Amino acid sequence: MNIKDKSTFILALLIPIAVGTLSALFSGTMELYTQINKPALAPPGFLFPIVWTVLYILMGISSYIIFASDAPGKTRALNIYALQLFFNFFWSILFFRFHWYFISFLWLLAMIILILIMINAFYKIKPLAAYLQIPYLLWCVFAAYLNYMIYKLN
């Protein structure tokens, strides 16, 4: 990966990190997570900020790769990226702030579909950008399992 514009690269990294940070601030995530009934496979709360930070960094790198390309489909791909970030931002607010477990599960399913569409769009431009999104997709599928089980248990 060749970084042509370092300030754009840094901005690409900061956008998803800012989205995640603001979402966490508005949702009050860790307090509720300690109080709700969770399934057996639920990870400890301290793991979430670590995993999400890594995922947001991968998202930022991936979006920079697409932004730096000259591909004709990059605007569409970046619009899909922005839309899934919008869904990402509001999921934890729906889940943790409002305790709307079933609605947040449906929201997460829509987000997973958007992630799949984004991965496909990124792949057509730069496969590496798509591959960097695979951990995010897998984590969101796992999050959907957790979300659904928390809905059932609470």
Residue 29 pLDDT: 63
Which DSSP string do the residues of 90-144 spell out, in sequence order? HHHIIIIIT--HHHHHHHHHHHHHHHHHHHHHHHHH-HHHHHTTHHHHHHHHHHH
What is residue 132's three-state secondary structure? coil
Q: Mean pLDDT, consecutive 10-residue segments, the chain of 154 residues?
A: 84 97 86 88 94 98 96 97 98 94 98 98 98 98 98 96
Q: What are the residue boundaries of the structural domains of the chain, listed by start? A: 6-153
Residue 28 pLDDT: 78
Tokens representing 105 are 């599960």
Residue 3 pLDDT: 77
Residue 66 pLDDT: 97
Residue 1 pLDDT: 63
Q: What pTM does this model have? A: 0.94
Domain 6-153 CATH class label: mainly alpha
